[in-house]
Amino acid sequence: YRDLGKNNDVIVIAVPPSRTGGDHQEYLDAFEQITEALIPARLVVVGGAGATEVNGVRLVDTPGFPEEYKAEATTGAEVYDMFTSVSGITWTVVAPAPVITPARRTGSYTLGTDSPAGDFVSSQDFAVAILDEIETPVHANRRMSVASEK
């Protein structure tokens, strides 16, 4: 991982854990290695909304959170916790709004940090927000949540 970071300014990690019901330990182990490698490049990690919080409670822990997304959201929360407890690397974890779909690009979006920035984000607005963060970083060593403006 360190060698990859030597030749790049930014590394974007947009790989989810297994969605087949399999064990997520290998995924968590990979992120543990990444956080320990002291990679010189900035890391931008695409996460999920389940690890964001509303009134101090993670969405994944709220009543009504969809059961089919709980395993992935719980793993995403563990990855986020890894980053919040590490030093020596620069990272941003990007979380979409709770609903993300391939709707049309609105051309504008709202940002937040630990709570969802809104209820919905188009995949196009989400991608643009990630590119904007890469080009002009303002969320170093913290989470960035994104929602489309209505």
pLDDT in tens, 87-137: 989 999 999 999 999 988 888 999 999 999 999 999 999 999 999 999 999
Mean of all residue pLDDT scores within the chain: 92
Instruction: Find out whether 100 and 126 touch, Cβ atoms under 8 Å.
Output: yes
pTM to 2 decimals?
0.91
CATH architecture of 2-148: 3-Layer(aba) Sandwich (3.40)
pLDDT higher than 70, residue 1: no
Q: pLDDT-derived band of residue 54, with 50, 70 and 90 as boundaries?
A: very high
Instruction: Find out whether 143 and 93 touch, Cβ atoms under 8 Å.
Output: yes
> Roughly how many angstroms between the first and final C-alpha of the chain, as a whole number?
39
